Structure 1
Amino acid sequence: MSESLLLSCRSGFENDCAAEIQFHANQLGISGFARTKNEQGFVEFECFTAGDALAIHRKLDFRELVFTRQWQVVYQKLHLNPDDRISEILSLSQSWGKCSQFAQDYPDTNSGKQLSGFCRKFHKPLQKALVPFLESSSDYILQLFWLDSQMLYLGVRLASNSSPYPMGILRLKQPSVAPSRSTLKLDEAFAVLLNEDERARYIQPGQHAVDLGACPGGWSYQLIRRSMYVDAIDNGPMAEHLMESGQLTHYREDGFKFVPSRKNVSWLVCDMVEKPSRVTRLMLKWLLSGWCKYAIFNLKLPMKKRFAEVQQDLSLLREELSQTGYRFEVRAKQLYHDREEITVFACLHRD
């Protein structure tokens, strides 16, 4: 049985997603090649040896994939009879062992979004047919990835090593009082880059935070609503209602030159439009100096060689933090609310 991996991504970032999975496959000693097309919203990575796609899916931590929203092992690419789509899906899925549930995805593109209605209608009849074959204790999810109403990739993914969100996308509603849409990026970052236990331990009411490049206050808003006190650093104006909250102090300074008077800041956040390498070094300065415990920041990516830039910046972060001898964490993702950028979480555990 031939196998491949299917990795969904933001439209326009297929080459970066392909380069990333090729890199990780090489690191695991697995041979294969990526098939992709610009603006199609996914990448297929074909392995030369049967079983290797599943091996990558089991061995590679999903959190290490920056450009991948969701992934699955593909066992079959099907062209279904529109009069009886369920029979073939049912027949093949039974031969792969028990799954706990099933999920339906499609490319997050303008053409792919037209499949949302079809998937909603198809959900109930497929669920009814699959119920006798689902086993709640299984870690596998039967995954359907539709190209149109008759063509799909059929396979599985591990619930414990994939995104818990439909299509790998956490959709958030824009708060009416938030000063800008960029607020959704930090809200999503807290949800995606931290697990539930980390959110409970790392985010506490009364903490002090610094927001570099804060204007007009989209990220400061997320900190304030989590009951933090914020030093907002930006030469531009902040939203008036944030200034009136009693939780924000505005410093009209350059974020690259600002030195905090308080040296035990819990959170540093940064969404400045600047070269990613320069932002990376600024974040390292704060973490290595002990000025903050946790940092979430955006890296604005160049139009070309985006994966290479990401790899270089994340490698620098990890190398510099590792030299301290302390335990550290670095995670990065191109979030749904990101655009030509990625979001990074980094921390240094000095205790």
Structure 2
Amino acid sequence: MHGMLAYCRPGFEGECAQELATEDARLLTGGFVRSKRDSGFVELILPDASAARQFAESVGWHGLTFARQLLRLRSRIDELPREDRLSVLMPAIRSNSHGYSDAWIESPDSDAARELAGLCRSLGNALVANLKRESLIDSSSPWRLHVCLIDAQTAFVAEAQTSRTSTWPGGIPRLRFPSAAPSRSTLKLEEALLMLLDSGERERWLKPGMTAVDLGAAPGGWTWQLVRRSMHVTAVDNGPMDQKLIDSGLLTHLREDGFRYRPPQPVDWLVCDMVEQPRKVAARMADWLAQGWCRHAIFNLKLPMKKRYDEVQICRSLIEDAASKAGKRIEWRARHLYHDREEITVFARAI
């Protein structure tokens, strides 16, 4: 079997499929997509090993919006025997030409597949033990083995280079809600900082003493993530802010319209989680980036019920066009986060 396997949020298989099909058309790899509503995964079927290798080497998980994880498919196995699944999985794994630094057995993030969590754990332990006995685990290998169970008797065998894939099983970082935060929306920004920035960027760009603006801040879920990093935040919202944030001494609360506010001087960060039409938010983000009012921005785009993929492209073009007119170009990273619903989260900066 030749192709790619992408995990996504259930209900967004169509958008994930559009994304993979767009990349396939760009690369002329001659594939087609298969998806099922609410399954939590999408297949891109490619004609041969050469096309699969080209796609895997040209398209990384980091550059996709709706795919939580992107893996290279090696085989699909149906009718796994319940009493000894490894007896069928191992021949498919041995047929690959290299060892693996690790092996994950996982399932998509669908209601049906989540019931397989216990089976994934027990089978994963047995699989790793088998791989070690056969000297197929090599800590220096750049490859990781993935076995995706879509039900108790059906599995995809896939693999990925660890440098080009998510470091979390299923592409989902498991975050705990911090009890001191004023709202659960804080998890969106925490996940965004983990998913959209690498460790070096977080160290360089999130330093104590930096300045930030939070548009539509109340009650302060996103502001809390910045204040806890000892950043000075201007929260712009007509609603009330959490008192503990006010008492921190790092917060200035302005009861103003986030779509009209302009900082008196450039700031290091702009963050925005306003519930508004995506193009209206994108237009305002375009102003901030093109005019140089912020150095980095993270914002949410609330998507419509239909043509969500197309809407993302329109919003991106709107921001890029504004930057181009100002003699700048935009670095754009977007992700449909685990803590997002009908929205995506974008990191952007003008360079």
TM-score range, shorter chain: over 0.9
Is 1:248 matched up with 2:251?
yes
Q: Which moved more, 1:154-163 or 1:264-273?
A: 154-163
SS in 1 for 2:111: coil
Mapping of 1:254-333 within 5 angstroms? 254-261=257-264, 263-322=265-324, 324-326=326-328, 328-333=330-335
Q: Which moved more, 1:167-176 or 1:317-326?
A: 317-326
Contact kept? 1:286, 1:292, Cα under 8 Å: yes
Aligned residues: 347
Q: Could you tell me how far apart the structure 1 residues matched to 2:4 and 2:207 are?
A: 39
Equivalent position of 1:72 in the other structure: 71
Mapping of 1:9-88 within 5 angstroms? 9-79=8-78, 80-88=80-88
Q: Structure 2 counterpart of 1:245, which letter?
A: S
Q: Could you tell me how far apart the structure 1 residues matched to 2:327 and 2:122 are?
A: 54
Deviation readout 1:176-233 (Å, 9 max, x if unpaired): 1111111100011111100011011111101111000001111011110010111100
Contact kept? 1:106, 1:115, Cα under 8 Å: yes
Cα distance, 1:157 vs. partner?
1.3
Q: TM-score, normalised by structure 2?
A: 0.95
Cα distance, 1:53 vs. partner?
2.4
Deviation readout 1:93-113 (Å, 9 max, x if unpaired): 122122222112211012111
Equivalent position of 1:106 in the other structure: 107
Deviation readout 1:154-194 (Å, 9 max, x if unpaired): 12112111111111001111111111111100011111100
Cα distance, 1:90 vs. partner?
1.8
Cα distance, 1:322 vs. partner?
4.6
Deviation readout 1:63-120 (Å, 9 max, x if unpaired): 1110000121112111222222212222221221222221122110121111111111
Q: Could you tell me how far apart the structure 1 residues matched to 2:318 and 2:143 are?
A: 35
Cα distance, 1:48 vs. partner?
2.8
SS in 1 for 2:249: coil
SS in 1 for 2:4: strand
Q: Which moved more, 1:77-86 or 1:324-333?
A: 324-333
Contact kept? 2:103, 2:124, Cα under 8 Å: no
Gaps of 5+ in 1: none
Q: Could you tell me how far apart the structure 2 residues matched to 1:56 and 1:313 are?
A: 26
Contact kept? 1:69, 1:168, Cα under 8 Å: yes
Contact kept? 1:317, 1:330, Cα under 8 Å: no
Equivalent position of 1:97 in the other structure: 97
Equivalent position of 1:3 in the other structure: 2
Equivalent position of 1:208 in the other structure: 211
Equivalent position of 1:344 in the other structure: 346
Q: TM-score, normalised by structure 1?
A: 0.95
Q: Could you tell me how far apart the structure 2 residues matched to 1:235 and 1:177 are?
A: 22
Cα distance, 1:324 vs. partner?
4.7
SS in 1 for 2:213: strand
SS in 2 for 1:133: coil
Contact kept? 2:287, 2:322, Cα under 8 Å: no
Contact kept? 2:271, 2:297, Cα under 8 Å: yes
Equivalent position of 2:162 in the other structure: 159
Gaps of 5+ in 2: none
Q: Structure 2 counterpart of 1:115, which letter?
A: L
Give the 3 Å change call, closer, same or farther, for CA 36–184 of structure 1 in structure 2. same
SS in 2 for 1:279: helix
Cα distance, 1:49 vs. partner?
3.5
SS in 1 for 2:241: coil
Q: Could you tell me how far apart the structure 2 residues matched to 1:161 and 1:227 are?
A: 32
Cα distance, 1:318 vs. partner?
3.2
SS in 2 for 1:164: coil
Q: Which moved more, 1:328-337 or 1:85-94?
A: 85-94
Deviation readout 1:303-330 (Å, 9 max, x if unpaired): 0000001112123333443555556421
Cα distance, 1:268 vs. partner?
0.3
Q: Could you tell me how far apart the structure 1 residues matched to 2:204 and 2:154 are?
A: 45
Contact kept? 2:291, 2:326, Cα under 8 Å: no
Q: Structure 2 counterpart of 1:229, which letter?
A: H
- Aligned-residue CA RMSD in angstroms? 1.4
Q: Structure 2 counterpart of 1:199, which letter?
A: R
Identity across matched positions, percent: 46
Deviation readout 1:234-278 (Å, 9 max, x if unpaired): 1111111111111111111100011212x1210000000111111
Q: Could you tell me how far apart the structure 1 residues matched to 2:102 and 2:324 are?
A: 40
Contact kept? 2:286, 2:318, Cα under 8 Å: no
Q: Which moved more, 1:219-228 or 1:150-159?
A: 150-159
